Amino acid sequence: MGCCIFLLLGGCTMSFAQTNTSPAQKIYQKALVALDEQKTKDCITLLQEAIQKDPQFIDPLLTLFQVYLDNKKYTLAIPLFDQAKKIDSITTAPYVIKQAMAYASLGDYGKAKNIITSFSSTEKKNATMASKAQLTLEACNFALSHPSSPDITIQNAGDSVNTEAAEYFPYFASKDSILYFMRRKNSRREDFYTSHLLPNGFTKSILLADSINDADKKGSVSFLPDMQTLYFAADYPEQGYGRYDIYKSVFQNHKWSAPKNLGYQINTDYWDSAPSISPDGKALYFASNRPGGYGGIDLYVAYKNDQGVWEEASNVGEQINTAGDEQTPFIHADNQTLYFSSTGWPGFGGADFYVSRKKIDGTWSKPINLGSPINTFDNEGSIAVANNGKDAYIASDRSDSRGGLDIYKITLSKETQGNIKWYVSGEIRDAQTKKGISSDIEILDASDHSSIFKLGADTTGQL
């Protein structure tokens, strides 16, 4: 935001010299102070007062335009730019691309494309704007050729889950109908929360009070099907190899064990995060910015050998990774459908969600965009798909969010759904004593006796 203010001030030096003591200018200066102190509501009120005092004063118009954009209030921002452009089309030229992007964010890709294709010669000379214009135009062309799917639904998870804070990194445990997610109340603290899905909606979310919440900064979570083993990313300076590492915790004696670093075969001196464990526990997918990838952040996978030891992680490959950023992988319960976000594949703008399926030879199919209205012109964050392959949960910042990122429940289109997988639940008890028995169970394919997945009963015999 500081950069935007600098540009605005730099473009209005003459205005300051001419109206330095005007009532509108004094109010505008107060607005800039409020903006610098991150008092957004006060800033907006003062900017509106300055505009009312002097409708021809372009500086507060452009500043309020930018403030509304930063807060995703696009319908309020667009008229301000139109008003400013009537006053001075030269001063507003560098901001035309932002107007186009605002329309794209509202889903009006046709209007956004028209603005870009009608750029003036002055606007085309701005290298930064030209680059943004090209990316926006590509998003517009993609969106206009990929209309919204009637199969897709999207709904805010509601006030029991979402708050004025940011909620993200959802994980839905189909076995128990529990939603796990991260909540960030300030820039220094992130915590895991849970909420149960009942027929009438989610229960009020509660803090997961356990050792896995010890670190201030954490990443996404992933469970084995028995819900007794948890993988997650966190920043533990005393245990980590780098800024973020991947850890494992086991549920024992009614609590989660102290997190254990997965070691150098998976973690590096760089950023390693967003783990997703396969249902058989033999493959761990994650994102990393380590050197040697195809882009800034790539997807990697590590496999567990027959001795139960993780082998060195390897890049998933160029079938998935691009020169952009690939993040937040989620391997579905069918163990062959991989969901992830990417800025490198063609899409609606920003980071979109995609799906790819593992072929018989182990390679991956060409990623498919999950489509609109799941993906938008803005960035989509993280995704988790339920065992039924149809329902999913995402983190996104939309017009109906309670504050920043919220958790949304979506229905995937037929072509992007995972295969339906059922879960096993029950109890293992001693036939004579009737007491629960801790034991391991392996589910085999009836045709060839190959392992599908393993699960274990805890000390009470619960699966």
Question: How large is the average pLDDT for residues 205-225?
Answer: 83
CATH of domain 2-145: 1.25.40.10
pLDDT at position 13 is: 33
- DSSP per-residue letters across 391-441: EEEEEE--TT-SSSSEEEEEE--GGGPPPP------B-B-TTT--B--EEE
Tell me how crowded residue 362 is: count the other CB atoms within 10 A of its CB.
Answer: 6
Cβ neighbors of 234 (< 8 A, separation 6 or more) are: 212, 215, 217, 218, 219, 240, 244, 245, 247, 259
Question: How large is the average pLDDT for residues 239-245?
Answer: 87
Helix (H, G, I), strand (E, B) or coil at 54: coil
Kindly state the percentage of the chain with pLDDT values over 70: 90
Bridge partners, residue 158, by sequence:
none
Check if the beta carbon of residue 418 is closer than 8 Å to that of residue 385: yes
47: part of which helix (H) or strand (E)? helix 40-53
Structural tokens at position 352: 């979109």
| pLDDT: which is higher, 357 or 208 | 357
442: pLDDT strictly greater than 60? yes
Question: How large is the average pLDDT for residues 139-159?
Answer: 94
Tell me how crowded residue 54 is: count the other CB atoms within 10 A of its CB.
Answer: 18
Structural tokens at position 255: 């609590």
Check if the beta carbon of residue 338 is closer than 8 Å to that of residue 328: no
Residue 184 — φ and ψ, nearest 5°?
-115, 110
pLDDT at position 421 is: 59
Superfamily of domain 153-416: TolB, C-terminal domain (2.120.10.30)
Question: How large is the average pLDDT for residues 257-263?
Answer: 93
120: pLDDT strictly greater than 70? no
Instruction: Report how far apart, in Å, the C-alpha atoms of 116 and of each of 26, 38, 125 are.
Output: 36, 32, 13
pLDDT at position 452 is: 64
pLDDT at position 461 is: 65
54-63, 130-139, 403-412: which is most confident: 54-63
Question: How large is the average pLDDT for residues 204-209?
Answer: 88
Question: How large is the average pLDDT for residues 6-35?
Answer: 66
| pLDDT: which is higher, 120 or 292 | 292
Instruction: Report how far apart, in Å, the C-alpha atoms of 327 and of each of 344, 380, 381 are.
Output: 11, 11, 9
274: part of which helix (H) or strand (E)? strand 272-277
Question: How large is the average pLDDT for residues 37-50?
Answer: 96
19: pLDDT strictly greater than 70? no
Taking the C-alpha atoms of residue 367 and residue 321, their distance in angstroms, rounded to an integer, is 10
Angle of the 96-105 helix axis to the 58-70 helix axis, nearest 10: 30
pLDDT at position 94 is: 86
Where exactly are the structural domains of the chain? 2-145, 153-416, 424-463
Taking the C-alpha atoms of residue 89 and residue 276, their distance in angstroms, rounded to an integer, is 50
Taking the C-alpha atoms of residue 15 and residue 51, their distance in angstroms, rounded to an integer, is 14
Task: Report the Cα 233 to chain-centroid distance in Å.
Answer: 15
Taking the C-alpha atoms of residue 40 and residue 32, their distance in angstroms, rounded to an integer, is 10
Helix (H, G, I), strand (E, B) or coil at 97: helix
Taking the C-alpha atoms of residue 331 and residue 349, their distance in angstroms, rounded to an integer, is 24
Structural tokens at position 335: 């163990």
118: pLDDT strictly greater than 70? yes
pTM, full prediction: 0.84
Tens digits of residue pLDDT in 343-384: 999 999 999 999 999 999 999 999 999 999 999 998 898 999
Taking the C-alpha atoms of residue 364 and residue 457, their distance in angstroms, rounded to an integer, is 34
15: pLDDT strictly greater than 60? no
Check if the beta carbon of residue 116 is closer than 8 Å to that of residue 130: no
| pLDDT: which is higher, 144 or 176 | 144
* Common-topology check for domains 2-145 and 153-416: no
From 193, 255, 190, select the one nearest 219 (Cα to Cα). 190
